[in-house]
Each structure stands twice: as C-alpha cells, then as structure tokens.
A and B are shown apart, each in its own frame.
Chain A
C-alpha cells in the first residue's frame, strides 16, 4: 500500500511528566490511514486519552513525531492552528459554547476561520443539524438540550469545518445510558460515510461493530492492535485478556 494513504503517522511518541518519573506515553508508533476507524481501548491511566489529545497537540508530547498529511505537527515552524481546522475533536463533556445558540456554535469557526459567509455557514449547519435529527434546534441554547443532543451537536460542530479526521475522546462516557445509543448511531453513520475516525471509548460493542482496527493500550504503550475479530476473539496479550474479561 502506498504511503499517500496514510493520514496521520505517529513515530515513537513520548509524554513524560515530572522529568520522566511519570510516563503517560512511552514510545507510541502507529499509522492512521484515510477512511480507517481506529478505536483505542485500555484501562484508565493507560495513556489513551493523552495519545488522542497529542494528535492535535492539545497535549504537547515530550518527544517523538506526528506527521499529519505529511507535515510534522510537532515541528516548531508548523502552524498548528491551520492543521487543527482539519482535525475535528469531540470531547467527553461536549464543550459546547453556552453563550452561543446552536447555530452560532456551529458557524463561529467556519465564518471566522474559513471565511465563509453567514448564509453559507448557516446553510451547511442546517444541513448537518438535519442529519442528526436536530434540524429544529438551531436557535436553542446548549443549556436547553439533553446530553445526547449536546454530543450530537458537538459532532456536527466539528463536522462543520469539513475536517479530514475526527478525534473522539470518550464521547459517550458522560451520557446517561439511554442516550448512548443516539450518539453511537451518529458515529456509525459517520464511519459508514468514509470519515476517518480515531476514537477512545469504553463502548466495546461499538468497537466490535464499527472499528476497522482496535488498539489496546496499557502503561503508555500500544500492547496489541488488530481487527476487532483478532482483538476480541483471539487476544494474545495477558493484559488484554484480563482487561477484556473485566469489561465484556
């Protein structure tokens, strides 16, 4: 397979705290190809969120390199803001902007950063809202929505920038159980549409059903990776086996 299919290339990524005493990431190397749905699982404290947040430099790695579209984002001279526009992110706690209406939440970045007109941005936002069955909520404020609705808005807010990849940081962990499904459904639709996705989650069902690749992390390292079938049905690593025994 040719290299131009690789969207994000991570090489020996390390994140140390307290001068190396704590190793949140301890040499992670992997490639994420276009169209892949990579699900990262692992026990808490395994570094999976740190890894995800390093991909758009919300967390600055101690050493190692991340190439996005062939550009080294860890390089000093790289304009990270430009690249972040192409990397959408969805957070555990939604992080919608409470002072803005749903529509303004979604049009702020496209208008200010991509130079879209108000009409253009709102047209696109309304299309996206319809896709997640919230077409009538454009003028609502975040405080008026349920958790599941907020997260669906957060997803389409990221999509409004037309990103090349979406990063999900435990998108369903803060939701009431009955709302998990509606968010996962949106994510499944996205995966089907060919969106490249990297997702840290505890939803093993989602990983099994949607992931093209599952990465199991522990102690800041990738311990095992493979297709969902390989990971869930034929785990080889003992850490992975005991982890799966606990969560499945």
Chain B
C-alpha cells in the first residue's frame, strides 16, 4: 500500500497566505503496471512527473510575471485613481479566495490579484506623490532593495529561519494585525490611531512604522524559505503560483508600509 499518497499537510507560516492546511489532491502521480518477464511478478509503481513538480525557477519566473502585471495595473491606477478603491476591494477578495478557497487555482487568481492590487497601489502612490514629490520611486527602490538584500542573506545562510524565528515574526504580525483592526473599527466612529497616520511625524510614530517594516521584511525571509523547501520536497506545480502569490502579498504590504514610513519622515521637514 502506498505510504505516500500525497503530502497530507502544509505547514504554518506567519504569512497569511501560508497559514492554512491544504488538501494535497493536486499532487499528480502517474501509475504504471508492468510485468516482470523474468520473475513472473507484476510490479506497480507511482512515478511523479518531474514536469509537474514545483521548482525555484518556476516560482521566480511566476513572481516576475506577477510583478509585471502589478506594474501594468499601477500604470492604470496612476492615471485613473478613481479605480483604486474598487480594485483594492477586488484584490482583497481575490486574495481571500486564493488563500481559503482554492490555492490550487492560484495560477488563475494570482494574476488578477496582482493586476487589481497594482491598480490600487498606483492610486495610493499618486496620492502620496501629490503630498511629497518623488516618494513613490523611493518606496519602490527601497522595497526591491530589501527584497534583494534579504534574498542574498537567506541564500548565503546569514539569516536562518527557525521555528523560534517563525514564532517571533508570527507574533509580531499578529500584533500589527490587531492594531490595524482596532484602527479600522475606530475609523467608523470618526476616530483612529494617530500613530498610524502618515502625517504623524513624531518619533514614536516613525518607530512604529519602522518596526512594521522590519516585520514585513522578515516575513519575506519566511516566504523564501517556504518556496525553497517546497521545491526541495517536490510540491505540486501550482504551488509555484501560490509561492509567487504569497511573495506578492508580502511585497505589497512592505511597499505600503515603506510609503507610510517615508511620508512620516517627510512630514517632519
């Protein structure tokens, strides 16, 4: 009997896109049955099609595709900022669908997610750009700079994600999520947490933004580790899209937080 019919469980991660258990029904195997002429025994074996296995190459290329779509969307959002809000809501719904409903369909939902979030980012970037000239390109440069430098640190083994590392990042992100939720609920009553305001240039507010940027950056390391491990363990092909999607979720979060941080720093001038 097969002991490895499929992977039974995907692990936990601080990235919301990675924090769910999945059914591994998409793990495709090819069964063969053939007669061994010499021994008179029939042998059956399940061979995984190597073309259907997640690879680093595939995950990185798909991240590139999603980034290109995001930039295309951003160009639209920059020119038509009125689309930012509906696109943001659509992107949020698509993210929830990808994470909770059909991770195996990430190849279909992730490109639309990237496009929609791109439109939203374009609109938000224009809003910040109107406040502080040149802030958007600074945020883009810093976001990709952090991405590349952390990738170098991860690949070389300078940063080693462990269970404790994951717990620490997970706890931090949980705290930030609660802060966002409290601020969101307070906004219904015409109030809010002033520390989160992009126009609040106090040291406390800047420190908080810096902390959030740190946690968003560290969760990139967990994404790299997840993709690396997924490729090592031979996850199904669709996980390339899912890994790329998860990286996009973190990158978009990081970009928005860097924008907010830069706006706070600029407001002190």
Q: Do A and B bind each other?
A: no
List chain B positions with a Cβ less than 8 A from chain A. Answer: none
